[in-house]
């Protein structure tokens, strides 16, 4: 039976990435050694790092004056690295979910945090609108896609101060005007690579302005100057990221991915809205293209566990919603084919015929 992978992260990767990574585990770049045991200082791996950074810049059309670096620690470490490098007197944050709240918590260690708007009043089921970004803050931080709740900010904001974005779960899913951002970061395990590597796109002119001393490993400048090799990088995930970047380029780039993602999401949301058993959990105008969350309607709540087992029996993997919200979540990242979404829709329709 074919398996359809809807896990939110670590999540589905292109077959191209998996096959090439598996081959490199056996024999990397014709060296007769595994990617697992090669020196990161070898010319073969340096070539991987250089190409990954170059392709990252090419696909996102990153202008001059930015660096792409690959680090460890996940997006969670960036919650602290961002304020370490940018926070002087005050920072501004948009609160749209669990991960935004975690970022805010870390920033508060450094001083005053202005939460300019929050959707917590309705359990993060919408993206706040019409907020004012304070011009006296050092930076404004947003989380573009909220994996747990299924909301997404799909337009690049205009900010009067340096804009910082956690794009862990929607990077490369749509074109981004990188020039509007000071820093873009994210864990790679949702739309790029296996867990273990974090990407950071940083504009040089925002660095070097804080008054504090920054620990060496927590300074972006350290990793820019070290070309992501100040310490041993996560070699396998970086190699896998390069394969995904190649796959993206070979499949039409980011604009082509956005088109496919819109198509997949429409198929899924149309069924949620039509089906007698299910209901979406967030405001329609803020629905994510990457994480589609839904629950059973109130009168059918008792069928949730049964539907989960029914779907799993038909090859639907990773549909369970986050433990904090329950229900179901279909993560439709770039590598998920439209056929998987259509298969899930068929499962939902079959279950409806049986139960409604």
Tokens 């585990």 sit on residue: 25
Domains 4-11+253-355 and 15-250 share a fold: no
* Rounded-to-integer distance, Cα 163 and Cα 149, Å: 23
- Residue ranges per structural domain of the chain: 4-11+253-355, 15-250
Cα angle vertex 334, ends 170, 336, to 5°? 130
Active site (catalytic) residues: 99, 166, 190
Up-side HSE of residue 273: CA atoms within 13 Å toward CB? 10
Instruction: Specify the CATH number of the domain 15-250.
Output: 3.40.640.10
Task: Using the predicted structure, report yes or no on whether residue 325 has a pLDDT greater than 90.
Answer: no
Residue 349, SS3?
helix
Task: Using the predicted structure, report yes or no on whether residue 322 has a pLDDT greater than 90.
Answer: no
Task: Note the helical H segments in the chain.
Answer: 15-26, 43-60, 74-86, 98-107, 220-225, 235-250, 253-274, 304-313, 338-355
Res 298: pLDDT: 95
- CA nearest to 199, candidates 230, 231, 174, 165: 165
- pLDDT tens digits along 159-185: 999 999 999 999 999 999 999 999 999
Q: State pTM to two decimals.
A: 0.97
Residue 112 near residue 89, CB atoms below 8 Å: yes
**Per DSSP, what are the bridge partners of residue 316?**
4
Q: Which residues of 237-247 are buried (b: 16+ CB within 10 A; e: fewer)?
A: bbbbbbbbbbb
Q: Is 352 exposed, middle or buried (0-12, 13-18, 19+ CB in 10 A)?
A: middle
Instruction: Specify the CATH number of the domain 4-11+253-355.
Output: 3.90.1150.10
Residue 318 near residue 292, CB atoms below 8 Å: no
* Rounded-to-integer distance, Cα 248 and Cα 57, Å: 13
Res 111: pLDDT: 97
Res 208: pLDDT: 96
Task: Using the predicted structure, report yes or no on whether residue 356 has a pLDDT greater than 90.
Answer: no
Res 185: pLDDT: 98
Tokens 């390069």 sit on residue: 242
**Residues making up the chain, counted from first to last:** 356
When the pLDDT of each residue in the chain is averaged and rounded to a whole number, the result is 97
Res 326: pLDDT: 86
- pLDDT tens digits along 207-250: 999 999 999 999 999 999 999 999 999 999 999 999 999 999 99
Tokens of residue 120, six digits = 């917590």
């Amino acid at each position: 039976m074919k398996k359809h992978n809807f896990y939110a992260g670590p999540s589905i990767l292109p077959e191209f990435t998996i096959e090439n990574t598996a081959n490199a585990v056996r024999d990397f770049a014709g060296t007769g050694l595994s990617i697992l045991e090669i020196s990161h200082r070898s010319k073969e791996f340096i070539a991987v790092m250089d190409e990954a950074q170059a392709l990252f810049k090419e696909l996102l059309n990153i202008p001059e004056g930015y660096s792409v670096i690959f680090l460890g620690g996940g997006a969670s470490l960036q919650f602290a690295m961002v304020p370490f490098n940018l926070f002087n007197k005050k920072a501004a944050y948009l609160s749209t979910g669990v991960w935004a709240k975690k970022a805010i918590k870390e920033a508060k260690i450094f001083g005053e945090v202005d939460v300019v708007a929050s959707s917590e009043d309705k359990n993060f089921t919408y993206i706040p609108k019409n907020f004012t970004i304070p011009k006296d803050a050092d930076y404004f931080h947003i989380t573009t896609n909220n994996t747990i709740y299924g909301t997404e900010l799909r337009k690049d904001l205009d900010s009067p101060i340096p804009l910082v974005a956690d794009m862990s779960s929607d990077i490369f899913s749509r074109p981004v005007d990188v020039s509007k951002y000071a820093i873009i970061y994210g864990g790679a395990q949702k739309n790029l690579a296996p867990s273990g590597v974090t990407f950071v796109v940083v504009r040089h002119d925002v660095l070097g302005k804080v008054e504090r001393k920054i620990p060496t490993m927590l300074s972006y400048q350290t990793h820019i100057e070290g070309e992501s090799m100040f310490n041993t990088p996560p070699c396998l995930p970086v190699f896998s990221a390069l394969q995904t970047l190649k796959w993206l380029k070979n499949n039409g780039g980011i604009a082509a991915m956005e088109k496919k993602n819109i198509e997949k999401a429409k198929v899924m949301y149309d069924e949620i809205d039509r089906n007698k058993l299910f209901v979406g959990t967030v405001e329609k105008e803020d629905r994510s293209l990457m994480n589609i969350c839904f629950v059973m309607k109130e009168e059918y709540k008792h069928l949730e566990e049964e539907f989960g087992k029914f779907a799993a029996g038909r090859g639907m993997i990773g549909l369970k919603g986050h433990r904090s919200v329950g229900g179901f979540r279909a993560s439709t990242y770039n590598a998920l084919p439209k056929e998987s979404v259509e298969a899930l829709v068929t499962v939902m329709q079959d279950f409806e015929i049986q139960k409604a």
